[in-house]
Every structure is written in structure tokens, then in C-alpha cells.
Amino acid sequence: MAQSKKYEILYIVRPDIEEAAKAALVERFDTILSDNGAEVVESKDWSKRRLAYEIKKYREGLYHLVKVTTEDDKALNEFDRLAKINDDILRHMITRVEE
């Protein structure tokens, strides 16, 4: 059996999104991960922060942090693919957490 690996996914949501739409977005992306074999250990809002540079005309973004464990890259690849085409997500980064 493959060894589970831990990852952190940090993504930045556009700041002018409605609260209900943001909650639905977070739930959708958490579900994408779990439906593709990853275990979502934690999914939490981090904070609203000023961006170092303008992204898609925005100077601020809502940061959201997700911690997951998974045995393969399927869930991460699907998250990455869908985050790239979602207009509400300005940027995202997937990082492997070393034990």
C-alpha cells in the first residue's frame, strides 16, 4: 500500500465574493479533494491580506488554507486543474509537508 503524504493547499479567493458564494466555493473544492481520494484534515479561512502585486485588478485577497493527506496525486491534480479555470480563485499553491 502506498504511503500517505501530507500537503497544504493555500489559495487566494477574490475579495469581493459574497460570503455564501465563498462558503460554496470552499465546500466545492474540499469535496473535489475528498471525491478524488484525499482526506481533508483541515480547511480554514486564514485572513484577508494585501497582495504583493495586483492580480486580475485586485489588491487584496481572502486566503484559505487546506491540509490534506493522500496516497496519490489524483486529487491534487484535479484541484489544480479546476482552480486554474475558476475565476473566483486568484492564485493557489500546493506544497508537500515533510514529516
Torsion of CA 84, 86, 87, 90, to 10 degrees: -50
Confirm if 86 and 14 have CB atoms less than 8 A apart: no
Distance CA 27, CA 54 (A): 26
According to the model, what pLDDT value does residue 1 have? 52
Whole-structure pTM value: 0.93
- Give per-residue pLDDT as tens, 76-93: 999 999 999 999 999 999
- Taking only the tens of pLDDT, the chain with its 99 residues reads 568 999 999 999 999 999 999 999 999 999 999 999 999 999 999 999 999 999 999 999 999 999 999 999 999 999 999 999 999 999 999 999 987
- CATH class as words, domain 3-94: alpha beta
* Domain residue extents for the chain: 3-94
